[in-house]
Amino acid sequence: MIDQSLVLLFITVALASAVEATEALTILLASGITRGWRSTFEGAFLALACLAVIVVGVGTALIRYVPLDVLRTVVGMLLLIFGLQWLTKAILRQTGFKPPHDEHDIYNKEVASLSKGTGILRGQRDSLGFAVSFKGVLLEGMEVVMIVIGFGLATKSGNQLGTASLGALLGVGVMVAVAAVVAKPLAKVPENYMKLGVGCLLTLFGTFWMGEGVGVQWPFDDAFLLVLLAIIFLATLCLIAYFKRVHESGLEVAA
Amino acid sequence: MHREKIVIAIWKGVKGFFSFWKDFLVGDSPVLALGVVVILGVAYLLRGFVFLAPVTTIGLVLALLVFTIWQKARARRQAIQH
């Protein structure tokens, strides 16, 4: 029988990676079109190699030298912070308090900014395109790396770094394939719904693992993950409904 | 002169490292990071209580979420009004 927490783990990492990949691909597309594809790909591949080294190096060191309870507490805290950050942003966007994430707008701004830069041309290489794609992939990928390491190491079933990495590769791979086919910013990806889902899942695992790390005994053991997911999801729906009404009616939120 | 440059470069690197992690973990919602630390402390103190510990931990997480959204929505509304 497949472990339900492993399935949730895989889905969370794949979705989180897909969201971050959408944002990174917009930067890569803008850089590739304005500065040339060669430097853009070189920068992106170098960043991916750095991220892979961090996953393997940091992941292996952590599992070898840090006790599982400490690891779960720290990973839980980090995931809870990320999860609540993502959930807050997604709920504010969903209710109209924050403008939606517009990949077309970001793409246009990137293109305008990259067209102005001169860069140092070495042969056919463009330093600006290289730097922009390297930085874009590294920064967007860092959150995924934290999630992969966290999910890979804090599970009860032992080292699941491979499963978490596979989830991340699947999420990124799907987005890259879609981007290659449409060859324009992935504006139609339901990014906010994905962020909402990932936010719920990160909050779920963050709460669960942080609690377990400090010694909280969850009822029904791992099966409680589904109950906790239902509670967080229901609370999210209630918050969206309430704040949407507040936004639409123009009522003063402040007391 | 050469040593000074190295010290400045190291200082800039250390500063950049900490500001990266600060942006990454705290970002524009310092209340979230602080709230999570408080929840951790409360969960640790209540860890011996079989019923109270899970209920309080979940309650505090939801309360932190509601407070952060309320705070941000309020700030946004005030910014629009002004």
Least trusted range by pLDDT, from A89-93, A250-254, B2-6:
A250-254
Residue A253's pLDDT is 47
Q: In this predicted complex, what is the ipTM?
A: 0.86
Domain spans, chain A: 4-249
Q: Which residues in chain B are contacts of A222 at CB distance < 8 A?
A: none
Residue A122, classed as helix, strand or coil, is strand
Higher pLDDT, A252 or B62: B62
> Across the interface, which of A73, A85, A228 has its CB nearest the CB of B58?
A228
> Is the pLDDT assigned to residue A229 strictly greater than 80?
yes
Distance (Å) from the C-alpha of residue B11 to the closest C-alpha of chain A? 21
Residue A185's pLDDT is 66
Least trusted range by pLDDT, from A155-159, A200-204, B49-53, B77-81:
A155-159
Calculate mean pLDDT across residues A36-50: 90
Residues spanned by the domain of B29: 2-81
> Across the interface, which of A73, A84, A228 has its CB nearest the CB of B64?
A84
Residue B44's pLDDT is 94
- C-beta contacts of B24-31 below 8 A and 24+ residues apart: B24/A142, B24/A143, B25/A78, B25/A81, B27/A85, B29/A84, B29/A85, B29/A88, B29/B68, B29/B72, B31/B64, B31/B67, B31/B68, B31/B71
Report pLDDT digits (tens) over A19-32: 888 888 888 888 88
Cβ distance of B76 and A85 shorter than 8 Å: no
Report pLDDT digits (tens) over A170-184: 998 998 888 888 777
Cβ distance of A88 and B74 shorter than 8 Å: no
Residue A252's pLDDT is 52
Please state the domain count of chain B: 1
